Amino acid sequence: MKLRRVIRIGLFALIGSFLLIQVIPYGRDHANPPATAEPAWDSPRTRALAVTACFDCPSNQTEWPWYTNIAPISWLTQRDVDQGREALNFSEWDRPQEAEDAGEVIREGEMPPWTYTVLHPDARLSDAEKERLIAGLEATFLASPPIEDGGHGGGDGGPGQG
């Protein structure tokens, strides 16, 4: 009897907490600022791979599914998008970027993060697609180099969170 009561109180507390955190507005702005400039992509295939694998964070073309309105998922998504756009933003190529280690981050499997690929299975690239994306990004960055950050802004999340 006591255990049942403790479980019931715990369940009500959990549900109450979940409902209460829904009133916190962070993570529901879902702004997609206008694109000001994109890199001169080396090929349409490189851009397509980048769109598939990661454009939801390091661009201003984020798609916001319904679940991104529910806390705490909304908080995590907003943080990832904010960090991604701060470090590397394919939609604002006319501002400083942290693009130099994008290939390494992809190669090491840090991008796209597993938490993103769980809900976006198309973002799971094969090894061949990853290598093609890395080579394409390197060629793109050579032909259309990003403005160097110079130590301003950035973020600690590395290029393209999400």
* Domains of the chain by residue range: 2-148
Opening angle at CA 143, ends 130 and 152, nearest 5: 85
Radius of gyration of the chain (CA): 19
How many CB atoms are located within 10 Å of the residue 27 CB?
20
For residue 37 the two structure tokens come to: 């400039």
d(CA 77, CA 64): 9
pLDDT tens by residue, 73-110: 999 999 999 999 999 999 999 999 888 889 999 999 88
Please give the model's pTM, rounded to 2 decimal places: 0.78
Alpha carbon distance 27, 70 (integer Å)? 9
Mean pLDDT for 9-18 is: 93
Burial status of residue 56 (CB atoms within 10 A of its CB: 0-12, 13-18, 19 or more): buried
- What SS3 state is found at 120? coil
Residues with Cβ within 8 Å of residue 48, at least 6 apart in sequence: none
What does the pLDDT look like over 33-78, one tens digit per residue?
999 999 999 999 999 999 999 899 999 999 999 999 999 999 999 9
* Alpha-carbon distances, residue 5 vs 16, 24, 158 (angstroms): 16, 30, 47
